[in-house]
Amino acid sequence: MSTEARLATALEAWLSAPDHHLLRPDDPHYPPLLREISRPPSTLFVAGNPDVLTLPQLAIVGSRNATAEGADTARSFAAHLAAAGFCITSGLAEGIDAAAHLGALHAPDGHTIAVCGTGLDSVYPRRHTGLAAQIVAAGGAIVSEFAPGTPVSRSNFPRRNRIISGLCVGVLVVEASVRSGALITARHAMEQGREVFAIPGSIHNPVARGCHRLIREGARLVETAADIVDELGGLLAGLRSGDEQERQSADQHEAAAGGVISTTVSDTEHADLLAAMGCNPVAVDVLASRCGLTIGELSSMLLILELQGLVRSLAGGRYQRINRSVE
């Protein structure tokens, strides 16, 4: 049997199972933040609940060879952040990834998403088959851009890292060596305009050196989960407080008036920001000057608007307003 035929057979069998989904970018369950990255997956294979993909997500990543202290830290941060309202996203790997998933599962009503570098017809590493089942049973999801039947390949794991960061509003690195794949995820996050957080460690600990490097490069040093909630709490509140009925009413009014939908947002400041953006791409520092905001304040507001599908991030730290025409 050819490779193409084998993959087609595996896909057909996988899709026949309950709670297995195939999402395209035009699907309402396709994550809005992921849709805006430079190379969004053309297809997402999802096992579990696709609704969690549209929740505000925070990635927790780090070394496969985590210390006991690092694993405990990842579990604790994940539990607190999940309780605060974030869906915890990671890569189902050994070490920090597994600890993050478990921490989220232990939180009341906690959700977690695992992004895999293989097809979803098999779990890698195999010892995490039970963990994957727990994630799905708790209302989370297992996600991959690779079709069922795709075998393990080392080259696929760096590719999946852009999805981990692309799904999330921020990335926390708990422990990482200077050659860790977690640093690849963090750098994707920086390129995508996401917040990057890192936990410092001992100067004698080799799996702390990657975190120290990220901090020197501009990642935010954090010591408690509350540090992240303080930084992203406004973003989380904004995502929760959007008034969909008001937005639909304004859309209908604008459509009747001129044929272009001008989507409203949850407060006047966000509406003023959209107006200040104009129609052309604009750099963050220019926009901050126009609006009289700090870069931190502006970044949080832009992430809210991006999640709502009202702006898109572009290369070079620029953003552009999205105008939706009525069909």
Pick 325 or 148 by higher pLDDT: 148
48: left (phi over 0), alpha (psi -120 to 50) or beta: left
CA atoms within 13 A on the CB side of 100: 32
Closest CA to 73 of 89, 61, 91, 86: 61
Query: Worst-scoring range by mean pLDDT, 16-25, 153-162, 237-246?
Result: 237-246
Where helices occur in the chain by DSSP H, the ranges are: 3-15, 32-35, 68-83, 96-106, 129-137, 156-167, 181-191, 209-216, 225-240, 244-258, 268-277, 284-291, 295-307
What is the pLDDT confidence band of residue 251, given thresholds at 50, 70 and 90?
Answer: very low
Tell me how far apart the alpha carbons of residues 133 and 142 are, in angstroms, rounded to a whole number: 9
pLDDT of 258 reads: 35
Query: What mean pLDDT do residues 75-87 have?
Result: 96
CA dihedral 135, 136, 140, 141 (to 10 degrees): 110
3-235: what CATH class? alpha beta
Strands 170-173 and 57-61: parallel
pLDDT tens-digit map of 278-292 = 888 888 888 888 888
Q: Please check whether residue 80 is in contact with residue 100, taking contact to mean a CB–CB distance below 8 angstroms.
A: no
pLDDT of 266 reads: 47
Residue type, 284: V
Residue extents of the structural domains in the chain: 3-235, 243-325
Percent of the chain with pLDDT over 70: 85
What is the pLDDT confidence band of residue 248, given thresholds at 50, 70 and 90?
Answer: very low
Give me the chain's average pLDDT, please.
Answer: 85
Domain 243-325 is found in CATH 1.10.10.10: yes
- Token pair belonging to 81: 């952040």
